[in-house]
Amino acid sequence: MILDSFRLDGRVAMVTGGNRGLGAAYAMALAEAGADLALLCRSDPQATAARIAATGRRVVHVPADLATAGPAELAAAVETVVERLGRLDILVNNAGIIRRAPAAEITAQDWDEVMTVDLDAVFHLCQAAGRLMLARGGGRIINVASMLTFQGGIRVAGYAAAKHAVAGLTKALANEWAAAGVNVNAVAPGYIATDNTAPLRADPVRAAAISDRIPAGRWGTPEDLMGVVVFLASDAARYVHGAVIPVDGGWLAR
């Protein structure tokens, strides 16, 4: 049955930033599809962990701060998942930060912090998880891109640069790892009501301009991303490699 190919029973997924927002939605989607979860985040994700546990799936918290963790610490985090849950089949690189300022005024610190979290940590986790998946002969890596993977945005030069790079990294890894059974893809959320977009939604002019351009007529919700993540993590997407899939209410088609 085709629906069986979407099941994730017996698999283990790690989601970065899984304590709230999109990360929590991704984690819940994977758990409801049958996967056990490791949530990599700074703070204890008690609420999300409780919801996952209620589905009957195992869940562990792997503490890490992507703003300061280097390659060795991130590789150790991947090893911790394997030690505690027995394996790692799915990696979702969700965590990200954004700094808003005119390009002429961006500080070096803000630029470096965005690149560290939104790009460097993504690569190092892909590399660590990818090594395991290559050795085993299969796995799924899902990076989180953005509308600013396709566009330049306003007052977010660092974020746009990092998210453009995430698409390039996704494609580069797919080219190298597809033949070994490791699927590397990305999902590009549109304008979603999360903490990251709170400043935009609080600006009546920008919020109205964005809403008016979305063909679906509304901002998205974290739940709108759940289906595509399950798809990319599952056997239903076994021939999907290097894709960047927009989930944007039609924004890019406008």
Q: Is residue 251 part of a domain?
A: no
Residue 214 has pLDDT above 80, yes or no: yes
Q: Is residue 236 part of a domain?
A: yes
Q: Is residue 253 part of a domain?
A: no
Number of domains comprising the chain: 1
Burial bucket for residue 28 (CB in 10 Å: 0-12, 13-18, 19+): buried
Q: Is residue 239 part of a domain?
A: yes
**Mean pLDDT, rounded, for 32-36:** 98
Residue 225 has pLDDT above 90, yes or no: yes
Q: What are the strands of the beta sheet with 139-144, ordered from one edge?
A: 59-63, 36-41, 12-16, 90-93, 139-144, 182-189, 244-247
Q: Is residue 94 part of a domain?
A: yes
What one-letter code names the amino acid at 73?
Answer: E
What one-letter code names the amino acid at 2?
Answer: I
pLDDT bin (cut points 50, 70, 90) of residue 86 is very high
Residue of 26, 159, 191, 239 with catalytic role = 159
What one-letter code names the amino acid at 92?
Answer: V
CATH number, residue 51: 3.40.50.720
Q: Is residue 113 part of a domain?
A: yes
Catalytic site includes residue 239: no
Q: What region does 70 belong to: left with phi over 0, alpha with psi -120 to 50, or beta?
A: beta
What pLDDT is recorded for position 109?
98
Q: Is residue 250 part of a domain?
A: no
pLDDT bin (cut points 50, 70, 90) of residue 195 is confident
Question: What domain range includes position 82?
Answer: 2-243
Q: Is residue 249 part of a domain?
A: no
